[in-house]
Chain A
């Protein structure tokens, strides 16, 4: 079945550091790819998405590019802030014609001032 693998956390960075969280997927067909974020005490929110190969999703300074050749959707941000501290989930949908999301295990990011 479809699956998502993302880098294990926790990740601890200093403010203004560069962030990369790796995500790779296994799916049949042509899934849509998502990054969701869960801030402390809050529910899951969509951060960005890409629905076809070579699309780049971006939001709040975060970016991720849908790479079909490497089956990857790595999340990047050039300069993190303390307020970016959260758990980040990579997910896919539609890989086998199925709509429900398949999530990775999540990566906890802590940004220190």
Chain B
């Protein structure tokens, strides 16, 4: 079945780069997403990548996609304390015509000053 896995926790120092990794099982996913959840809030779309791309850069964010290994990563450059949150990887469900997304369990990013 469809499955998305992430490590649960990452701790970095302010100013360092953070790399959050994700693996997924459905090779037919058209889009892969990164969402951010701050305390007490819902999820907010950070960025996404189309499956025929291998990299996308958006300011401090870099998404890398390795389709062969079904591996997605999110790199945050110059990590700030405001980046502390839970980051969710998601893939679009195969064969779905409903906009269905399959999420991982989320990686908690802790940024130390």
B and A form one assembly: no
